[in-house]
Chain A
Amino acid sequence: MSSGAAADVAFVAFALVAVAAGYRVFRTDSMVRATFLLLASFLAVGAILVLLAAEYLGTALLFMMTVEMVVMALFMVMFMMNPAGLNPMAMVHQPRLAAGAGVAAGVALAGVAVVADFPDAPVAGSAGAVAALGAELLGPSMLVFESAGITLLATMVCAVVLSASRGRYGPTHDGSVAPPLDPGGDHRPTDDLVEPGGGGHGHHGSHS
């Protein structure tokens, strides 16, 4: 990994950016600005990973988070009442408990980091690390790699199913009924007849 005074200065700078931007995420009025502050925090962590000789991971984090945070900014504009931060706002609950839990968790973890006696086995250098990761992913850790792919596929299906407003044959709240097989006819597949009569005549309340 990188060593020397320059690497130390760069690490301190990136660590300060990561923590300060992370704090500002929950302190700014503008939701879009909060998203890009979170992105700054991720980019700083990615840079630290590069300093730590995990060059592939740092770069992957950089690309992944840039795209993800842009998507997040879109959701902010869609769902928040104050995306541009034109009015001061504070949408918090149980602020004392939250701050207490956050400080307690941070201090406890930092205490472990300072007190614990970790083995001293620094990585040799970044040259072989990326190649070793590739050989690991396509060798002994192939199952992890493939599971990650399947998990992401399942996530895509799950996200579409959860967020879709209509089923295959129409809006979900109207009941999704298959169309007739022949034009103008009334021959639906019988096993597809969810609610004979169709329409919006309260076929929801009767079940619950």
Chain B
Amino acid sequence: MTLATVLVAAAALVGIGLWGALGQQSFVMLLMGIELMVNGIILAAGGLWAFAAGGVPTGQVLVIVAMLVMAVEMAVGFALVVAVYRARGADTTEGIGSLRG
């Protein structure tokens, strides 16, 4: 368990998340791709905190901010999915041609 191995695993998670976020049609699956990318960011920040920052407490605060971003993204994302489905009856990115309400 070294910093490089932790960061490589985090890079793999970010890459897989980007692949899913760009490739999936469904809004919900797209959100899962973004979640996976933030997951990789959390792992990378944790690894850097433990190996390269000497365990300064602010490093852990950064991870908490990343977790906050994930929670906000999830809640607002699902609310938008509900709003778009109500207004347009669409649940995939192909179902809407514009963002106009």
User: What is A's interface to B at a CB cutoff of 8 Å?
Assistant: 1-3, 7-8, 11-12, 15, 18-19, 22-23, 25-26, 31, 34-35, 38, 41-42, 45, 48-49, 51-54, 56-57, 60-61, 64, 68, 71-72, 75-76, 79-80, 91-95, 97-99, 101-110, 112-114, 118-124, 129, 132-133, 135-137, 140-141, 144-145, 148, 151-152, 155-156, 158-163, 165
Contact = CB atoms under 8 A, between A and B. Distances in A.
14 contacts: A19-B9, A26-B29, A52-B1, A61-B42, A68-B71, A91-B26, A92-B25, A102-B16, A104-B15, A105-B15, A112-B7, A121-B51, A141-B61, A159-B78
B24 A91 contact: yes
Contacts of A91: 24-26, 29, 92
Contacts of A98: 18-20, 22-23
Contacts of B43: 18, 45, 48-49
Q: Is the interface of B mostly helix, strand, loop or mixed?
A: helix
Contacts of B19: 26, 98-99, 101-103
Contact of A19 (B13, B61, B64, B72): B13
A99 B92 CA distance: 19
Given A98-B23, A151-B68, A152-B72, A45 B52 contact: no
Contacts of A136: 57-58, 60-61
A165 to B, nearest CB: 7
B13 A18 contact: yes
Interface of B: 1, 3-20, 22-29, 31-33, 35-36, 39, 42-43, 46-55, 57-58, 60-61, 63-65, 67-68, 70-72, 74-76, 78-83, 85-86, 91-94
Given A11-B1, A98-B19, A113 B7 contact: yes
Contact of A120 (B22, B28, B51): B51
The 7 closest A-B pairs by CB, nearest first: A106-B15, A102-B19, A123-B55, A98-B23, A113-B7, A109-B11, A136-B57
Contacts of B75: 155-156, 158-159
Q: Which of A26, A99, A160 has the most CB of B within 10 A?
A: A26
Contacts of B28: 31, 72, 75-76, 79-80
A112 B35 CA distance: 22
Given A103-B19, A151-B72, A57 B6 contact: no
Contacts of A156: 75
A10 B8 CA distance: 16
B77 to A, nearest CB: 9
Contacts, number: 264
A133 B5 contact: no
Contacts of B57: 129, 132-133, 135-136, 141
A34 B29 contact: yes
A135 B79 CA distance: 35
